[in-house]
A and B are shown apart, each in its own frame.
Chain A
Amino acid sequence: MKPENPVVAVLSLVVGLLFLSPVLYSIWMSFQTADAFYAGRVTFTLDNYERAVGQFNFARYLLNSLIVSGLVTVLGITVATLAAFAFARFTFRGGDLLFGATVATLMIPSHISLIPNYLTLAKVGLLDTYAGLILPAISNGFAAFFLRQYIRGIPKALDEAAYMDGASPLTVLWRIIVPLSKPAIASMALYIFITEWNNYIWPLVAVGRQDLYTLQIGLARLYKINPGEGLVDWPLVMAASTITILPVLAGFLFVERHLVRGITMGAGK
């Protein structure tokens, strides 16, 4: 990379710190005792982490979050890739309309579908189940749209060559399109994972049983643990928050190489 203009470098640093500051502040806070924090003193303790992990089935919530986010990611990417392949490569009756509808879902705030989804799941008896947490999230219009655009950038002659070689459409998808779309698929997988990981409102609505709580719900419940008179134990909440960030961070590092390529795609050969 070229050496940067120092003014740009300083500005970048400032902006970066601005973005990071809430995260850094909450991490710093997680190492304080509640008393010291409210008294304005600076201490250092790992006590909050111990309490966060020890209380309220923390391990269980973590497992639930991993199961739900993991399955939503796998199923969501599968559905989005299949849809994207169909939209990108096949002309069929109503195809444009269907694609338009898919894109239109991006304009609908997710909260609007909250009640219809709830009623539907209640009717089929899937409330308070993993399926109820997972199923509504696996159709992702944005991922389908993004992948369709990416697949359109892959020369169609590659598909045709594979058909001549004897491939079926699903073979073309699996052996040609998917390997060549890896950066885009990795980006979308991470995007879906993070979105689902941070999802709060749906698990709150769809699940009443404690053993199905995800991390975000468990985290919210930590607010209720007061050390004293109506005060929230912020250092405890921040310690728990910090733990919930870690899997996402690990996921990001895991797909970072692909992700960066996905974002800069089309920027050069």
Chain B
Amino acid sequence: MSGIALRNIRKAYPGGPTVLHDVSMEFHPGEFIVIVGPSGCGKSTLLRLIAGLERADAGEIEIAGIRANDLAPQDRDIAMIFQNYALYPHMSVRENISFGLELRGMPKAQRNRRAEEVARMLQLEPYLERKPGALSGGQRQRVAMGRAMARNTSTFLMDEPLSNLDNALRVAMRTEIKDLHRQLGATIVYVTHDQTEALSLADRVAVMKDGHLQQFDRPEVIYDRPANRFVAGFLGVPPINFVAAEKLPGWQGMQGLTAGLRPDILSVHAQKPAGPALEARLVLSEMTGSDLLLHCDSAAGRLTAIAPRRAMSDPAAQLWISYDLDRALFFDNDSGERVDLARDLRSIRTAEE
């Protein structure tokens, strides 16, 4: 097992924009790290730098305590799973899995045993002699994982490994990857633009935007205390509501703030409730299974609330929405940074009561 440290990594493509600006992170051995961000944020480039497929313009990459900037990919004790799997089309599944072992000089019998072992773990045994072209998307994905696992490396890099699968398979593979991580105990660096994958898989999540690291922390912290407006907006389904804080009835705090209200801290009432609430007009209600998503227009702007379907069998057109200001997030309008107001607010509340 080995940790990875990135220090002030900078990368620009020749003639192109800078894709990474002074990114620094440290991954502990055995950690499951997810790097998440919209496309073009530099997350894949970062992964390729760790793999050794690209060179950093500045900064330091350290793997297992050793400076790795100048190490070739094959000397980094790292395996990688590519977005489109990159299976060798002219080789059978067995050859795909054992190719890396062959290049490292493992004798054939031993190689075959290892390939079969890995195939058993991934339920690929019946397909060992097939070519990738004769496999389904999910099976190819498994072969890609098998190829990475065969070498017993201490670090796995995964570049959107589930993005080509349909939804049901994606959910199933997500569980399997998590399970594999537990079994192998290896460090995993996983790149995705899917926030559900980020929150459900990671020990720690790195959120990136435009080549800058926005926040790097445990998923709960990222969700509950996002560093800025971008992080708050990027993670969470349905997405957080942003409204000008002054427009919230009962608001007595400072000016120039945006309030972030996650749908689950909003409550919907048919009559005006006690305490601060917004009057709203229902625009659209979406059924999501056990819950209803209620999109409403209010004096503060468009708000999306979530309510249990059973309690809201037939939402009226005119509603009242109350909110739990203790759980609301506040962001500076100019910088976008989150402002910690919890203590102030509590005192305002007590004064009211």
Contacts and interface: CB of A to CB of B under 8 A. Distances in A.
Interface of A: 155, 157-158, 160-168, 171, 175-176, 179-180
Q: Is the interface of A mostly helix, strand, loop or mixed?
A: helix
Interface string B118-150: 000000000000000000000000000001000
A48 to B, nearest CB: 48
A213 B87 CA distance: 49
A175 to B, nearest CB: 8
B27 interface: no
Contacts of A171: 103
Given A160-B80, A164-B73, A165-B74, 15 more contacts: A155-B86, A157-B82, A160-B82, A160-B86, A161-B147, A162-B99, A163-B53, A163-B72, A164-B53, A164-B78, A164-B79, A165-B103, A165-B147, A167-B103, A168-B74
Interface residues of B, number: 23
B107 to A, nearest CB: 16
Nearest to B78: A164
B51 to A, nearest CB: 6
Given A176-B88, A179-B90, A180-B90, A164 B80 contact: yes
B90 A165 contact: no
A170 to B, nearest CB: 12
Contacts of B239: none
Q: What is the interface of chain B mostly: helix, strand, loop, or mixed?
A: loop
A197 B151 CA distance: 49
Interface string B79-105: 110111011111000000001100110
Given A161-B82, A161-B88, A179-B90, A166 B100 contact: yes
A159 to B, nearest CB: 9
A158 B88 contact: yes
6 contacts: A157-B86, A160-B80, A163-B74, A165-B100, A165-B103, A168-B74
Contacts, number: 55
Contacts of A155: 84, 86
Between B78, B79, B100, B147, the greatest number of chain A beta carbons within 10 A of the residue's beta carbon is seen for B100
Contacts of A162: 88, 99
B104 A166 contact: yes
A155 to B, nearest CB: 7
A176 B103 CA distance: 13
Contact of B99 (A160, A165, A180): A165
B163 to A, nearest CB: 14
Contacts of A157: 82-84, 86
A10 B79 CA distance: 59
A167 B74 contact: yes
A176 B95 CA distance: 12
A166 B51 CA distance: 12
A124 B295 CA distance: 86
A175 B72 CA distance: 19
Q: Which of A158, A162, A164 has the most CB of B within 10 A?
A: A164
Contact of A160 (B53, B72, B103, B151): B53
Contacts of B52: 163
B108 to A, nearest CB: 16
Nearest to B80: A164
B150 to A, nearest CB: 9
A166 B100 CA distance: 6
A163 B53 CA distance: 8
Nearest to A269: B133
A175 B103 CA distance: 11
